[in-house]
Amino acid sequence: MCWSAQADAVAGGLVAVAGVACLVRAHRAGRPERLPLAALPLVLGVHQLIEAVVWLGADGGLPDGLAGAARTAWAVVALVLLPVLVPAAVWCATSGPRRRTLAAITLLGAAVAVPLAVAVGSHPVAATVHGHTLGYAVGVPYPAFLLAGYVLVTVGSLLASGDRLLRLLGLLIGAGAIASALLWRLAFVSTWCALAALTSLLLLRWAGRRQAGGPVPEAGRAR
């Protein structure tokens, strides 16, 4: 993943299509509270498509203005949107006492996103090719501290959801985060987002699933 513009374009297109399918399944299942989280694969798929454009800019195939806009758009999604969207979407899809914990995690996500948004808004976003990955530089303050908070709110919200599939998704994304940090230290966020996009395909199954213990459809009772 993230090996080239072509790899990002193909993976991003497939994940985006799966994201649309997630939204359709959640809608057909009559579960509007699942729609924000069901939209996550679509967001991550579009994010990979944006990175394909960043690759073209890094290779010198785009005008500087367009390449800079692509880098900024990538950073806005990765650093500002995701640490708020993921815990907030899990909160929307969760019921019961766990919502209090998830509300706190969502607030923490907003607290992480604010300094990241300031960094993106006040510094040009640079992207450098490191072998077959992209490394981004934004001028983020206290990067280790904010990175820990970022992982906590994105992975932690899924683990705290109480849903078996969402916990599995959290474990897979957490493992991807560790692998990315160990193997591709210079391109951590780029590689992690790509792995998260692929593992979020689990949401295609989750989006249309009936909750355990939920009401059985009339057709099911008739059979």
Contact 162, 98 (CB under 8 A): yes
What is the predicted pLDDT for the residue at 189? 60
What is the pTM for the complete model shown? 0.84
Alpha-carbon span 68 to 62, nearest angstrom: 9
What is the predicted pLDDT for the residue at 188? 58
- Return the SS3 of 128: strand
Across the chain, which has 223 residues, the per-10-residue mean pLDDT values are 76 89 90 92 92 89 91 95 96 93 97 96 88 80 89 94 91 80 60 70 80 41 39
Pick the closest to residue 114 from 149, 87, 90, 86 (CA basis).
149
Alpha-carbon span 216 to 210, nearest angstrom: 8
What is the predicted pLDDT for the residue at 214? 40
